Amino acid sequence: MGQLQERYKKYRVPQEFMEKGVYPYFREITGKQGTEVVMGGQKVLMFGSNAYTGLTGDQRIIDAAKKALDQYGSGCAGSRFLNGTLDLHVKLEKELAEYIGKDDCISCSTGFSVNQGVIPALLSKDDYVICDDRDHASIVDGRRLAFAKQLHYKHNDMADLERVLKGLPYEAVKLIVVDGVFSMEGDLAKLPEIVELKYKYNCSVMVDEAHGIGVFGKQGRGVCDHFGLTKDVDLIMGTFSKSLASIGGFIASDADTINYLRHTCRTYIFSASNTPAATAAALEALHIIQQEPERIEKLWKVTNYALKRFREEGFEIGETESPIIPLYVRDADKTFLVTALAYKSGVFINPVIPPACAPQDTLVRYALMATHTEEQVERSVIALKKIFVEQGIIK
C-alpha cells in the first residue's frame, strides 16, 4: 500500500456519523427535483434545493433539452476555444448579456469554474484581490490561484473593508469580489456601500449572483439590479444550476474585459464546452423567467410567509433577506442530528458546518422555491419546531 493510501485509510469521519445514524450526505433522489421528492422509498418535502424558480421539472425546459439532443447530439467533444462552440452557446451568451445589462459574456461548464478561472485570469502579481470572509468556496479557490496579493475583510463590515483599502496604492489594480447573496446565511452584500468605496479608493468590483438571479431585481436580474448598481459593478457572475434549472455558469462585463477573458481564462479555454442539452435548458429557463414575473412574486410570497412563521415560532434565523433561511443550531453534532430527525419526519434540509461556516455558527439551511405552498411550509415548520424544542435548541 502506498503513502497516500496509508494516510487516507485513517480518514473515518464520515463512517463515525454513519454509525451514529446521522450521516446526511449523498442521499439518493429517484425522480425529478421539485417541492416533494422520493428518497429511500419515502416522499419528503424538499427544502434543501437551490431551484428558487421551481423550474427543474418544467416540461418546456425538458422539451428544449430533448430538442437540442436531437439537433446537436450529447456533447461537443472539445473546448469552446477550438471545436466546441455551438450557435446555441453564442445565442445564450448574447441573451444573458442583454438580460444582465452588460456588453458581453462568456459561459463555462460550471459556476465554480467561472470564479476559479476568471479571478486568476484578471489579476497579476502587482494587483490585489479583496474578499468577504464568507465568500463562496469557488471565490476562495479562484483567489488562491491568482498571483495577486490576497486580502479579506470581516463579513459585511464596511469599516473593515475601508481599513483594508486605505492601506493599498491608489493606482494599483484592486478587485473586490463578493457574493450578492451569501449562500448559507441568506443575507445580502452591502453593495451600495461597496460601490461607494470602489469610487473612493479606485477599485473594481465583481459580484457573484449565483443566488441572486431569478430571485432579486426586475425579472430576476439579481442583486446588482435590485440595488440599481449594474453599471457600477464591473463584473457580474452567475450560475445555471439554480434558478436557470441546468448546469453551467457565466461572467458578464464590458466588451474589452470579456474579449480578454475569452482568450485567456483557463477554465473556459481548456474545459470541454457545456452540453447542448444543458445550454438549451438554461436558455429556455431564461425565457420563462422573463415571461413569467408572477413566478418570482410567488417565490417572495411563500418566502415572506416562511420568514414570518419561523420568527413566530422562536427560531434564530439571523439577518437573512432571501429565500435562504438559516436555522441556527450552534452545535455540530446537533446539526447532524436535527438534519437526520427532520428527514425521518419527511423534511429534507441541509446541514451547514465548518468550513462552510464558523464553528459557533452551525445551522441547517432551509431554502424555498416559487412552487412551494404555504401548506408545505406550515408542515415543515411544525415538524422542525418539535425537533428543535426536543433538542433544547429553542423553547
How many whole angstroms separate alpha carbon 249 and alpha carbon 79? 15
Contacts of 13 (CB under 8 A, 6+ apart): none
Contacts of 151 (CB under 8 A, 6+ apart): 128, 129, 130, 131, 164, 168
Residue pair 224/236 in contact by the 8 Å Cβ criterion:
yes
Closest CA to 150 of 169, 136, 164: 164
How many whole angstroms separate alpha carbon 177 and alpha carbon 207? 6
Please tell me the predicted confidence (pLDDT) of residue 354: 87
* Confidence at 358, pLDDT banded by 50, 70, 90: confident
Q: Which three cell numbers stand for residue 240?
A: 445555471
Task: Write b or e for each residue in 219-250: b if 16 or more Cβ atoms lie within 10 A of its Cβ, otherwise e.
Answer: bbbbbbbbbebbebbbbbbbbbbbbbbbbbbb
Residues 347, 349, 317: CA angle, nearest 5 degrees: 110
How far, CA to CA in Å, does 145 sit from each of 10, 45, 100, 150, 197?
A: 29, 39, 27, 10, 25
Residue that the C-alpha cell 427560531 belongs to: 315
- Once rounded to an integer, what is the mean pLDDT over residues 116-140? 97
The answer, yes or no, to whether residue 272 has pLDDT greater than 80, is yes
- Once rounded to an integer, what is the mean pLDDT over residues 329-345? 96
- Once rounded to an integer, what is the mean pLDDT over residues 29-44? 93
**Per the confidence metrics, is the pTM higher than 0.85?**
yes
Please tell me the predicted confidence (pLDDT) of residue 357: 85
Tens-digit pLDDT profile for residues 258-270 = 999 999 999 999 9
Question: Percentage of residues in the chain with pLDDT exceeding 90?
Answer: 95
